[in-house]
Structure 1
Amino acid sequence: MAENYRIRSLILVGGRSSRMGSPKYLLNTPISPETAVPLIEKIIMVHQICQDYYRDMSRTTDVSTRDATQSKELNRLLANSMVDQTRVHYIVDRTPDAGPASGLIRAHEDDAAAHWLVSGCDYPLLEVQTLSVLIQNHLKGKKAITCFRNADGWNEPLLAIWSPVALRRLHDLGRENPAVGPNRVIREFASKQDTSDNTEQFRFGVMTITPPTQSWLRNVNTREEWEAIQPEIPDFFQSSKMERPSHSHH
């Protein structure tokens, strides 16, 4: 894969979690019968396992935060965690509370050549296989955006891979209207399919994937949703095993 096709991880944690009543990324999440960790720790571990498998991925895990204070809190939280903290990098929003698009735009400003694999911090059933399916389809389909489509036919812009061209468009629209949502860009690119016999890769179109299980796409916004999802959270150490691709790091 060409150098400028590098994929980087982005995890969004800057939201206020107002309906949950406390930060969603701190939710105490079981990863085995004996162990529970803050949800952000599990999500970073999922990303880092993928980075170790795919040579097309940067080994940096970027965490999009609301402000420098939140970055420092997360840094303290992860100090004694299972994640490789040397690979965690914080990207601070320019405008706090401007919505998830602002985190994607800031990531693009940080590295305009990267394809950003984004996930929110509120997917407790996220698995290594979830991200692996996105990566494989992005590399195969070579569309501007690769994302999941849920059972109701809605796209999931915050569990997706965004190409530089798609992020540049989001950036431009965000300058015109800070409240613009990422779904606006997905709709636009879905209507602009490439007709040039695939010569311009990652510049046109949207690759939408129906996940093998809808549970991957279940995020939590309230205490009731969090309680209801508890029995479904898989053993992390079982669910994180995957086939090693032939083009792995190792």
Structure 2
Amino acid sequence: MTGKPDQAAPGPIWGCVLIGGKSSRMGRPKHLLQRGDRTWIERTVTLLRLCVDRVIIAGAGSLPPSLVGVPRVDDVFGLEGPLTGVLAAFRRYPDVSWLVAACDLPDLEEDALRWLLASRAPGVLAILPDLAGDGRVEPLLAYYDRQCRPLLETIASTGQRRMQWLRQMAGVITPQPPIALRPSWRNVNTPQELGQLAP
């Protein structure tokens, strides 16, 4: 065979739920907020499991009993923001590509996850949706190919914490999701925003 090894063996796609935020504006852990009979993190894990081979959780915090057996990784020490969890997943499982979802996306739907997966293509290292088409990308519901790790390590090594930096890198695409899917990217940070959610 003459192809590159990474082309011949693409590796698995797993899901990673990020729970490492401080939830300072909400005043309590967002991943444990309840909607119906499930916590937000239980719902997110369930949706990811419909689309990928395996799901892990990145970050510290208590979990509902139903998720105690889910593999976890600790955030990377010395970093801040979502990079700490995403990079932790890459370092623990270097041969895995990742469908990443934050824990505070209460309107997340399976179709949005499948849209991200369908947007993959040869040479694409990451898919960071640009909802408004204004250059601001969404790294917290996104796809990261296993070959994206060097870009993340570069961000970490230069002291950057904003993953928006990725949008200018070769191999990173920033498509706009269909309008019907865009509510999946809405995050909730405050009690006021929480109160505006449909039951």
TM-score between the two structures when normalised by the length of structure 1: 0.70
AA partner of residue 145 (structure 1): A
CA drift of 1:167 comes to 2.4
1:180 corresponds, among 152, 161, 166, to 161
Which segment drifts farther, 149-158 or 117-126?
Answer: 149-158
CA drift of 1:121 comes to 0.4
AA partner of residue 184 (structure 1): W
1:222 is matched with: 190
Q: Equivalents in 1 of 2:166, 2:87: separation in Å?
A: 12
1:6 is matched with: 12
AA partner of residue 19 (structure 2): V
1:212 is matched with: 179
Three-state SS of the structure 2 residue aligned to 1:11 is strand
Alpha-carbon RMSD: 2.1
Q: Equivalents in 2 of 1:156, 1:18: separation in Å?
A: 21
Three-state SS of the structure 1 residue aligned to 2:26 is coil
Three-state SS of the structure 1 residue aligned to 2:140 is strand
Deviations 1:35-77 (A, max 9, x none): x2111000000011113xxxxxxx32110013xxx2xx22xx2
1:155 is matched with: 137
Q: Equivalents in 1 of 2:96, 2:174: separation in Å?
A: 18
2:58 corresponds, among 54, 61, 64, to 64
CA drift of 1:210 comes to 2.1
Deviations 1:125-148 (A, max 9, x none): 00111111101111x465111122
Structure 1 runs of 4+ with >4 Å offset: none
CA drift of 1:4 comes to 2.9
Query: Is contact 1:149–1:211 with CA below 8 Å preserved after alignment?
Result: no
Matching of residues 118-157 of structure 1 within 5 Å: 118-138=100-120, 140=121, 142-151=123-132, 153=134, 154-157=136-139
AA partner of residue 27 (structure 2): G
Query: Is contact 1:60–1:89 with CA below 8 Å preserved after alignment?
Result: no
Structure number with higher strand proportion: 1
Three-state SS of the structure 2 residue aligned to 1:186 is helix
Q: Equivalents in 2 of 1:45, 1:130: separation in Å?
A: 14
Where structure 2 has 5 or more consecutive residues not aligned to the other structure, the ranges are 1-6
Three-state SS of the structure 2 residue aligned to 1:208 is coil
1:45 is matched with: 46
Q: Give the greater-gyration-radius structure (CA).
A: 1
Query: Is contact 1:127–1:216 with CA below 8 Å preserved after alignment?
Result: yes
AA partner of residue 73 (structure 2): I
Q: Percent identity?
A: 26
Deviations 1:110-137 (A, max 9, x none): 1222211101000000011111110111
